[in-house]
Amino acid sequence: MKIYCISIYNENYNFFRDNHLIPVGVGERNFDHVWLDDKGKFNISSKNANFGEYTFHYNLWKNNKLNNDWIGFCTYRRFWVKQNYSDPKTIKDLGSAILKEVPSIWKEYDVILAEPLRLGKQKLMKLLKNNLAYTIRKPSLMFRECTIEEHFNLYHGSFFLDTALDLLEPEIKKDFKIYLNSFEFNPHNLFICKSPNLLSQFYDDVFTWLFKCEQEFKDIKLNTFGKKRIYGFLAERYLPFWFKRNCNTLDWPYVYFDTNLNK
């Protein structure tokens, strides 16, 4: 099993390696030569500010770095963990909790997804602060849980998702709309895939879609938090939908622990 640990900081290389993770540096910072990066022969590294970790995914895909083994992804602050783990208080605890071997239960599945996030009812102040106009159009959000679609629109703007949906094939758009009307999703672009062919197919579909979106959004300034990583945010919703639609998936626990802040 290969798990790539994607980081925007040139920190904790030895910790990642010692815990069977492959350190990957992306973004504007300079990384030591021992790190992998997103700058292969064919790359979109310059787009990292808007695509986030997907510049590394593109690098793996286009430079033929997929292999016949479980291949997965975590980040410097979100890690796959063993099923019966305790929340780590220190980085040493984290090392003990990190998943290092393929569990036998996985043999029946094609893809492992992060445990789903229930979006729930949003706090009134967040609704008003993040998207007052959208809240006014949908006042019921003050009293009920929000859907995946509503949550995206609140924090990133409805234009982006509405436009992106129209760029999908009609049948996929229909199914994705149904999925977006549910109340939880598998977050953070975390996944582990058993088949390189399946992973390549996902990359083909998601990048075809994201590059179409990029053409539509090319004249928009993507310079705020909700907009800057817009292609990563779109892919984050599309990823669990795509895998659940195309293969057998299993939800698996992960933990939040910021290794750049906690030593």
Question: Domain limits of the chain?
Answer: 2-116+186-256
Determine the pLDDT at residue 198.
98
Determine the pLDDT at residue 68.
85
CA dist 248 → 17, 166, 178, 205, 251 (Å): 30, 27, 19, 18, 10
Q: What CA–CA distance (Å, rounded) separates 69 from 72?
A: 10
C-alpha 121: how far from chain center: 22
Q: Give buried/exposed letters for 23-32 (b at 16+ CB in 10 A, else e).
A: bbbbbeeebe
Determine the pLDDT at residue 128.
86
Q: What CA–CA distance (Å, rounded) separates 74 from 61?
A: 17
Determine the pLDDT at residue 188.
98
The number of beta carbons lying within 10 Å of the beta carbon of residue 83 is: 9
Choosing among 1.10.10, 2.60.40, 3.10.10, 3.90.550, the CATH entry for 2-116+186-256 is 3.90.550
Which residue is associated with the tokens 């430079």? Answer: 63
Reported as a single tens digit per residue, the pLDDT across 86-102 is 889 999 999 999 999 99
Which residue is associated with the tokens 């009920």? Answer: 144
The number of beta carbons lying within 10 Å of the beta carbon of residue 259 is: 19
Q: What CA–CA distance (Å, rounded) separates 202 from 241?
A: 11
Q: What CA–CA distance (Å, rounded) separates 177 from 186?
A: 16
Determine the pLDDT at residue 263.
63
**Both tokens of residue 66?**
């997929």
Q: What CA–CA distance (Å, rounded) separates 214 from 51?
A: 10
Determine the pLDDT at residue 31.
96
Would the pTM count as exceeding 0.85?
yes
Q: What CA–CA distance (Å, rounded) separates 191 from 193?
A: 7
The span from the first CA to the last CA of the chain, in angstroms, equals 26
Q: Which residues of the chain have pLDDT under 50?
A: none
Q: Give the H or E element holding residue 132.
A: helix 124-137
Determine the pLDDT at residue 207.
98
Q: What CA–CA distance (Å, rounded) separates 67 from 99?
A: 20
Single-letter residue type at 97: A
